[in-house]
Every structure is written in C-alpha cells, then in structure tokens.
Amino acid sequence: MQISRGESIGDTARVLSRYVDAIVVRAGSHEAVAELAAEAEVPVVNGLTPLHHPCQALADLLTLRERFGDLAGLRLAYVGDGNNVARSLAIAGELAGMEVVVAAPPGYQLEEGHGAKLTDDPRAAAAGADAIYTDVWVSMGDEAEAERRRADLAPFRIDADLLSAAKDEAVVLHCLPAHPGEEITAEVLYGGRSAVWDQAENRLHAQKALLQTLLDA
Ligand code: NVA
C-alpha cells in the first residue's frame, strides 16, 4: 500500500480494483473508507471504522438467530460506550425488527436516529432483555482518554446483578477483545449465559456469507 507515501485513496482504490475481487478495510477514518468505496470498482466492506462496525453486527444477529430463532421482537440492551459497535447494532437491529436499547452515560451516548431507544439507566435497559451486550470502554483511537472513560463508564459494567434484570434465558454478548473486571465481570463473561464464544465464531461464518453474497451479486 502506498497511502502512507502520499498516494490518494482514489488511486489506491483503482489499483486494488485491478488486483482483487473485494476489499475489506479497517481504518481509523470512516471518511477514508467511504472514499475508497466510492472510487473502487469492486465491493468494499467496512471492517471497522470509528463510526461503524457492520460486520460485527452481522455476526451478532446470526448469534441471536441461532439462540432464539426469529430476531423480530427480541429486546437487546447494549450497555456501555455508545460507539461504533452500538451504532451498527442499532441500525442492524432496527432492520431486523428488534428493540435495541442503548444505556450510556452523558457524553457517551449514541446520537438519535438509528432506531435505538436511548437511556442513561443500565437497569432500565436490561429489564426484560433477551440479550445484554457490551464492548470495550476504550476503543481504538480513544487511548488518550482511557482513564476518564474507565471512571465515567464504571457504573455501566455488566455483572451478575445487572444480568438478573434481564429475562431468565437472556444471553450475554461482547464483540471482544474483553477486559474482564472492566466492562464485564469474569463471572458473566465466562458464565453459563455467555454466548460470546459462539458470537466470536460467527464472525467467521457471517463474513464468509457476506463475501459470498457480494461476489455472487
Ligand atoms: N469499539 C471497539 C471495537 C473493537 C472490535 C473499537 O473500535 O476499538
């Protein structure tokens, strides 16, 4: 890749389009990925940007479908940082007819308009949920604010007490990497309600299906 040597994203897109059938890109700039997609002649998959993490959302919904059958009507509580993972889950959940509730403290909440209900009360979000989800408190690019984030998000940890507010058969999801003791307790992450390892496996299956779909299109 020549981007670090000054090649434009458009030229990189044009060259890669001659080499490959599809591009999966993980980048620190959402706009860069959008520009790559606009200029490329092959499908461009967002493998993670600070704004969105749609591949993760596909694996998440696959995991819920395996566990519960129909997605429509499921209630998913996302508790923690209103970040890329939360945003993509809200969008995908709405498309699937799910009820997604995002519980985050002031300053960390998603913007309105993605179909999710927003609250700053983790227990209210977890009440009656079919799934409780969290992600790291310090995402890629947030490292300089790590200390403040850990302090602000501490009341939003998923622990056994919060899980008890959900349905008896509720599952716990986390996109990984997890920090046991931080955004989720080890007891919950490794406990009987955790679907996290199925979810991790489903990243493989969902992304294979996504590529197949794009290449067949
Ligand atoms: N929100 C996290 C997701 C890691 C898979 C990040 O962007 O770093």
Write the secondary structure of 175-197 as one string of H (helix), E (strand) and C (coil): CCCCCECCCECHHHHCCCCECHH
Atom of ligand 1 nearest to the CA of 142: 8
Most ligand 1 atoms within 8 A of CB, residue of 52, 79, 135, 182 to mutate: 135
The pLDDT value given to residue 1: 84
Provide, for the chain, the percentages of residues in helix, strand and coil under a 3-state DSSP scheme, each rounded to the nearest 5: 45, 15, 40
The pLDDT, as a whole number, for residue 59 is 98
Q: For residue range 142-158, what is the model confidence (pLDDT) as tens digits?
A: 999 999 999 999 999 99
Q: pLDDT averaged over the chain?
A: 97
pLDDT tens profile 1-35: 888 899 999 999 999 999 999 999 999 999 999 99
pLDDT of residue 143: 96
Regarding the beta carbon of 83 and ligand 1, being less than 6 Å apart is answered yes
pLDDT on residue 144: 98
Report pLDDT digits (tens) over 32-50: 999 999 999 999 999 999 9
Rounded to 5°, angle at Cα 149 from 144 and 154: 155
**Position 100 pLDDT exceeds 90:** yes
The proportion of the chain whose per-residue pLDDT surpasses 90, expressed as a percent, equals 98
Q: Specify the CATH number of the domain 54-200.
A: 3.40.50.1370
**Has residue 115 got a pLDDT over 90?**
yes
Region 99-110 average pLDDT = 98
Respond yes or no on whether the N-terminal peptide bond of residue 177 is cis (omega within 30° of 0): yes
pLDDT computed for residue 20 by the predictor = 98
Give which of 188, 182, 67, 87 is closest to 130, Cα–Cα. Answer: 67
Q: Is 183 in the pocket of ligand 1 (CB under 6 A)?
A: no
What is the tens place of the pLDDT at every residue in 170-210?
999 999 999 999 999 999 999 999 999 999 999 999 999 99
Closest residue to atom 2 of ligand 1, CA basis: 139
This prediction has a pTM of 0.97
The pLDDT, as a whole number, for residue 176 is 98
Residue among 55, 56, 114, 157 flagged as catalytic: 56
Examine the pLDDT at 85 and tell me if it is beyond 90. yes
- For ligand 1, the distance from its centroid to the CA atom of residue 212, given in whole angstroms, is 25
Q: Is 199 a catalytic residue?
A: no
> What mean pLDDT do residues 84-112 have?
98
Cβ contact 132:170 at 8 Å:
yes
Asked about 135 being catalytic, the answer comes back as yes
Q: What is the mean pLDDT of residues 74-103?
A: 98
26 among known catalytic residues: yes
Atom of ligand 1 nearest to the CA of 135: 1
Domain ranges of the chain: 3-51, 54-200
